[in-house]
Amino acid sequence: MWWMILLAAVIGYLVGSIPMGYLIIRLMKGEDIRSHGSGRTGGTNALRAGGPVAGILTSVGDAFKGYAAVTLARLVVGPEVLATTIGTLAAVLAGLAAVVGHNWSVYLGFKGGAGTAPNIGAAIAFWPIAGLYLAPMVPLGLYLIGYASVTSLIIAGMVLITFAVRAALQADPNWWYVGYATAAAAAVVWALRPNIKRLRQGTERMVGLRARKAKKQSDNSAPPV
C-alpha cells in the first residue's frame, strides 16, 4: 500500500504546480505575471499585475490547489486505508507536495510563488475550522502590516501552532500534521529568502493600502519642482 503514498505525493505536486496566477493574468491581460513585481505567480503579485479581482481569484485558486491535493489523496487511498497511518501520511505528503509544486512548478521551469495559499488550503482540508481564522489573515495582514512576505511568515507560523496545539490537546495526538506544518513553513521561508533579505535592508515592497499611504506620504514630502 506504500505505492499510494508515492501516488498521492505525485498528484499533490502536479496539482500544486498549476500556475493559477500565470493563467489568470494571461487570460485577463494577455501578459506574463512573471514580468511584474516580484516575478512570482501568487496572489500578491497577481494583485500587482491585474488588480484586486486577479489577486482574489489567484489566491482562492491557489488555496483550492492545497485543498484539492489532500482530497484527491484521500480518494486514492480509499475509506478503508484513510483512517490508518498510511492514509494520513498520503494526505500529509499530498498537501506538502502541493505547497512545493506551487513554489517550484514543473510547468514554469520550477518557479512559482511562496506557498501561503496552498498551505492554507491544505490546512483547511486537514481541519476545516482552521479556515475561519487562516483565510481572513491574508487580507487582514496585508491591511495592517503591508508586507505580503511578513503576512506569509505569520500564517505559516499559525498553521504550525494550530496543529501543534491540537496534537498536544488530543488523547491520541496526530503528529503527522505537525510534521506537515513544519515542512510547509520551511518551504515558505526558503521561498521568501529574497524578501527576508529585503526586509532586513528596509527595501521590501509594500502592497495594498499601506503601499498607497506610503506613496502618498512620499509624494507629499517631495520638494516642489
Distance CA 42, CA 92 (A): 22
pLDDT of 37-54, one tens digit each? 889 999 999 998 999 999
Confidence of residue 219 (pLDDT cuts 50, 70, 90): very low
Confidence of residue 171 (pLDDT cuts 50, 70, 90): confident
Let me know if residue 184 belongs to a domain: yes
Let me know if residue 219 belongs to a domain: no
pLDDT of 85-98, one tens digit each? 899 999 999 999 99
Let me know if residue 148 belongs to a domain: yes
CB–CB of 12/101 below 8 Å? yes
Let me know if residue 176 belongs to a domain: yes
Give exposure, 64-77, as e/b (b: 16+ Cβ within 10 Å). bbbbbbbbbbbebb
CB–CB of 16/100 below 8 Å? yes
Residue among 171, 80, 181, 86 nearest 127 (CA)? 181
Q: Between vectors from CA 154 to CA 192 and to CA 87, what angle results, nearest 5°? A: 85
Distance CA 64, CA 73 (A): 14
Let me know if residue 218 belongs to a domain: no
Let me know if residue 160 belongs to a domain: yes
pLDDT over 70 (residue 58): yes
Q: Say how far residue 61 (Cα) sits from the centre of its chain.
A: 10
Instruction: Read off φ and ψ for residue 105, nearest 5 degrees.
Output: -75, 130
Instruction: Tell me how many domains the chain contains.
Output: 1
Let me know if residue 225 belongs to a domain: no
What domain range is 97 assigned to?
A: 2-213
